[in-house]
A and B are shown apart, each in its own frame.
Chain A
């Protein structure tokens, strides 16, 4: 039944064109066997009558017009799934590379997934305690959320992601329900190894599924990597009832691979050469986070992206920010002054936190405290820019107190050790202690009842 098509009509970048093909389907997977016996995989990306354009994942190096046999597999790109994938390592296209053999599939799933019906979604409300003061207090991570880390080359986003993965605790369920899916797209070998080692050291390696497309792996496979990872995550969450944290690094490399693929297809480029459908494409990944009614598991995403030239208006961070539910932005100045994690407070945000904090989740004063910290820290920035013009000496006494508050805030609250796991109570108390160094009338986001209870101007520093 399966026919081999001999030779190709045209080769262009990672694309090959076949003529006179019958019965192929859009997005169908193909096997391409070269004369020297190597096997490559590809996918149908465009069809015009009997003319079929195929994207070859491993690249077209070595392919000539007549040294190939192409076979259409009759199904779209699928991933073999079973609970056994935990602890395994796969390449970017979902093939095992840890030498432990193939997965015996309990299920197979199309890696493109299908959209979750908005009606079936459960609105995420359970917070994840990460043990990091800035995140827990000011941009709380919620189970089922997608919260990217906007970073730049050379900043400590990997360390932060590892710390979150290590410390993330879900209060109401046991440890065995928690697992991590890690997808590396165009990551350096060292980075992938750093993640592997860190997971190993913290003893969670058996709870991690890794999909590695390293920087020297085929670029086209990079487009499949996050899809494979999310398919695995959805399986673990919605079939096996686990709480899955998906770490994807680096989304910028992914988008660049998409751009390369798009331009080789001759598509009309949009902003900075990225294809016009970049938003929809990124959304088809990010929107796979969430919780579904009637299923106990959840998919939480923590994508990492490096902003080229630290530019937050670059299309990748920009479109990501429009899709994800907030962002954690890292700041180079803080990083430079040795503060870890260098979380830039003001542009960071968690959209889902307002319903996942407060009485019954964290503490009743959480919301007011975090609003006040944001507002006060914004004033610190004003005072600093004023001080840089007229000098610190000339500032009003209130502004001087703001400067001091800003310094202590960054030193005590933002900064914490890579292994320091602060409870939410500790973080909130620390926040109040720092706010107490400011005059009481400056705290206009908090009502008097809370101030009476928590405002303690006497004990300035611990």
Chain B
């Protein structure tokens, strides 16, 4: 049978469509379904039936309408124009769709992913006779004022440059160079290439993750740091601030490029991201945040199959920019919605369910996704990284459910959001007893080198105080805090300063929303200094009530607001004041 020989729809069930007795499709091939040419993907083949998941609403489809194959798997177009754009789950630009069909998304909108008319100011980097292999950069253009787009030879292609066009303005599909491969075949190199979303882009070598992703969020940077090229999970019930935490990380982390995937989440949240990111100025470059951001919005009411694809679209874009030599962070909010999309489609296929109705291949899909994070040497020799931060929305806020448990196995950072903290409006509501980071060993040398051994020492002490408080609180819950001896009361008071003054962070305060590492260190230093001095007094039988009356503890709680980020010298004043007030207490 020939390709595109008349294949017609046989059955329809929600987003799943079947075609009977067709031998012309291959697994994961992208197809167009029906007269409106809805995008779909082949997900199952038997000699009887070919099963296709459709990325758009199937209302109104009729058996007998044509199904045409494209011959290639579901893929995305990679080229200049991705940044500062917002796409749906299969890389269709939502702004262009809005211009075509208005505020509500019509079906079958065929809009090309990148603006085909826009002229890019291209500089060629090769000359005839140069030998190029996959990943090599042949042209560059400024994609936004802060990010240079580097056009690379698609992986798998190599050869000698036959001819090159002069520098100048080109559109994405204009050929700028011609490559002759070993067999003598000629390949035109344009500004863009295509890549199947479910296949990881190749790298030369994976590196150890030794650089931290600096986020400016104290509880993360200090207690549970993540490495560039790492993977972290943020699980939390509704209302615990997953999205808020993701937004903070997207705004402040020191990655070059941010890919924000809104996977099955709220439409109003996406419009908030759009509003905020275009107003927000990147502190490093002074340019709007959107200049280094890509948004992928497949909200919960958009087709479920496209939601499943959105995660892969996001990670493929991330890998593409990594290949250029950038550090990319991808925020996936929320991977549970993606897992549910898997479950939904699996149910339509009548597959045998495993835990909680999720398909048995859930763990392998999750691990495939998280393994695409990494610090790498690219094919062209540059370094780049992809960091994945995935939110998880556990059903019933129960962390023992399959998505949370399996995610835990494949990520090395776990920032557990806690309902009780969120209820008390303690944000970020990252629970310090349940969370962990396995990146300490990789990152400690970096911290020691750049911030001094002190930083590590302070962190250990802060951790110990929090653990001690945790144990003491068990007692306090039973018998009240009055009966504790003074030294234990001091632990509780100091831990309060750590919790309220250090771990809690106000995203809406101009100084507190992002805190440089050096300030984090100084804050720890002052808190621990107070603790040490106060403990000396307590062991010299000075009553703790007197120490509390100095107001020092409350002063340190507000220190995060009182010390601007550029006036770290003020911390010495705090140390002096602690020494002065406490020594007055002794002499009195």
A interface vs B, CB < 8 Å?
Answer: 23-28, 46-50, 76, 110, 112-124, 144-145, 238, 267-271, 275-277, 279-280, 283-284, 286-288, 290, 292-295, 313-315, 318-319, 321-323, 325-327, 346-347, 349, 351-352, 354-355, 367, 371, 374-375, 378-379, 385-386, 389-390, 394-396, 399, 441, 444-445, 447
Contact = CB atoms under 8 A, between A and B. Distances in A.
Contact of B300 (A117, A124, A275, A287): A287
Contacts of B393: 322
A351 B347 CA distance: 32
B479 A318 contact: no
Given A119-B94, A119-B274, A385-B477, A26 B268 contact: no
Interface string B3-18: 0000000111110001
A301 B62 CA distance: 34
A308 B238 CA distance: 19
A276 B59 contact: no
B215 interface: no
B120 to A, nearest CB: 23
Specify which of A116, A295, A354 lies most central, judged by the most chain B CB atoms within 10 Å of its CB: A116
Contacts of A270: 343, 347, 356-357
A358 B94 CA distance: 32
A342 to B, nearest CB: 17
A160 B236 CA distance: 29
B94 A287 contact: no
B209 interface: no
Q: Which of A119, A277, A323 has the most CB of B within 10 A?
A: A119
B266 interface: yes
B390 to A, nearest CB: 15
Given A268-B347, A444-B557, 20 more contacts: A28-B60, A50-B63, A114-B57, A118-B270, A268-B357, A270-B357, A276-B340, A276-B346, A277-B14, A280-B341, A280-B344, A283-B301, A284-B300, A284-B301, A287-B300, A313-B395, A349-B239, A390-B479, A394-B480, A444-B558
B104 A318 contact: no
A124 B271 CA distance: 9
A454 to B, nearest CB: 17
Nearest to B242: A322
B98 interface: yes
Q: Which 7 A-B pairs have the closest CB atoms?
A: A313-B396, A283-B300, A287-B301, A321-B238, A120-B103, A378-B424, A48-B11
Given A277-B344, A313-B397, A321-B238, A25 B60 contact: yes
A283 B298 CA distance: 12
Contacts of A114: 57, 104-107
Nearest to B557: A444
Interface string B390-402: 0001011110000
Interface of B is mostly: mixed
Interface in B501-521: 508
B453 interface: no
Contacts of A293: 103
B481 A49 contact: no
Given A144-B268, A268-B357, A123 B275 contact: yes
B461 interface: no
Interface of B: 10-14, 18, 20, 57-64, 86, 94-95, 97-98, 102-107, 237-239, 262, 264, 266-268, 270-272, 274-275, 297, 299-302, 304, 337, 340-341, 343-344, 346-347, 350, 353, 356-357, 393, 395-398, 419, 423-426, 476-482, 500, 508, 551, 554, 557-558, 561
A444 B104 contact: no
Contact of B423 (A46, A76, A347, A354): A347
A115 to B, nearest CB: 5
Given A49-B10, A325-B268, A118 B508 contact: no
B353 A268 contact: yes
A176 B275 CA distance: 30
A367 B270 CA distance: 23
Contacts of A116: 103-105, 267, 301
Which of A117, A270, A276 is most buried by chain B, counting CB atoms within 10 A of its CB? A117
A323 B106 contact: no
A279 to B, nearest CB: 5
B12 A46 contact: yes
A361 to B, nearest CB: 14
Contacts of A275: 347
Contact of B63 (A47, A287, A447): A47
Contacts of A110: 59
A445 B425 contact: yes
Contacts of A287: 266-267, 299-301
Contacts of A47: 11-13, 63
Contacts of B266: 287, 323, 325
Contacts of A120: 98, 102-104
Contacts of A295: 103
B477 A119 contact: no
B424 A374 contact: yes
A321 B266 CA distance: 11
Given A279-B337, A395-B480, A24 B86 contact: no
Contacts of A396: 480-482
A326 B11 contact: no
B391 to A, nearest CB: 11
Contact of A280 (B10, B300, B396): B300
A128 to B, nearest CB: 15
A392 to B, nearest CB: 11
Residue from A47, A267, A286 with most neighbouring chain B CB atoms (10 Å): A47
Contacts of B398: 313
A445 B426 CA distance: 10
B238 A322 contact: yes
B63 A49 contact: yes
A271 B58 contact: no
A259 to B, nearest CB: 13
Contacts of A117: 94, 97-98, 102-105
A122 B300 CA distance: 17
A76 B94 CA distance: 26
27 contacts: A24-B62, A27-B58, A46-B13, A47-B12, A49-B20, A114-B105, A114-B107, A116-B105, A116-B267, A117-B97, A117-B104, A118-B270, A119-B97, A119-B274, A120-B103, A121-B268, A268-B347, A271-B356, A271-B357, A283-B300, A287-B266, A323-B266, A355-B272, A374-B424, A386-B477, A389-B478, A444-B557
A113 B476 CA distance: 55
A50 B63 CA distance: 8
Given A145-B268, A277-B347, A321 B425 contact: no
Contacts of B97: 117, 119
A441 B554 contact: yes
A346 B12 CA distance: 46
A284 B132 CA distance: 50
Q: Which of A121, A290, A323, A327 has the most chain B CB atoms inside 10 A of its CB?
A: A121
Nearest to B101: A117
B247 to A, nearest CB: 12
B340 to A, nearest CB: 5
A445 B505 CA distance: 11
Contacts of A351: 239
A319 B395 CA distance: 8
B299 A118 contact: yes
Contacts of B13: 46-47
Contacts of B14: 277
A4 B371 CA distance: 57
Contact of A321 (B57, B239, B357, B476): B239
Contacts of B10: 48-49
Nearest to A28: B60
Nearest to A268: B347
A118 B271 contact: yes
A323 B341 CA distance: 15
A81 to B, nearest CB: 15
Contacts of A50: 63
A385 B586 CA distance: 37
B480 A121 contact: no
